[in-house]
Amino acid sequence: EAARLDGAGPWQIFRHLTLPHLRRYLELGILLGSVYIVQNFDAVFTITSGGLGTANLPYTVYETFYRAHEYGLASAAGVVVVIGTIIIATFALRVVSSLFREEASRA
């Protein structure tokens, strides 16, 4: 309400007030979603065998290696998955450490 009185538009209110308050939850949602995508191989393989648009990246690497016999492509995709996992893990460590720092500063 104060931002509206100061002449801020809806986009400015969202960008400067709402989004910073949602940042922690958006980061956590992105992080958990990324972990789920990388970790969900067994359910996709067991239930659908990658059919009906349910294939994820690890299943696609598996299928490329074992069914298409494209060993080089599957190896390259596996390296991309590992690099992506390292990036996600680094992001997760930063988020968790910033949360701990915020909690420590409050106490």
- 69-92 pLDDT, tens digit per residue, is 999 999 999 999 889 888 888 888
Q: In this structure, is the dihedral angle defined by the CA atoms of residues 65, 69, 72 and 76, taken in order, positive or negative?
A: negative
Longest dimension (CA), the chain: 64
The C-alpha atoms of residue 34 and residue 37 are separated, in whole angstroms, by 5
Confirm whether pTM is higher than 0.85.
no
The DSSP 8-state label assigned to residue 97 in this structure reads H
The C-alpha atoms of residue 69 and residue 94 are separated, in whole angstroms, by 38
Collapsed DSSP state (helix, strand, coil) of residue 56 = coil
| pLDDT tens digits, one per residue of 3-45 | 888 888 888 888 888 888 888 788 778 878 877 777 777 777 7
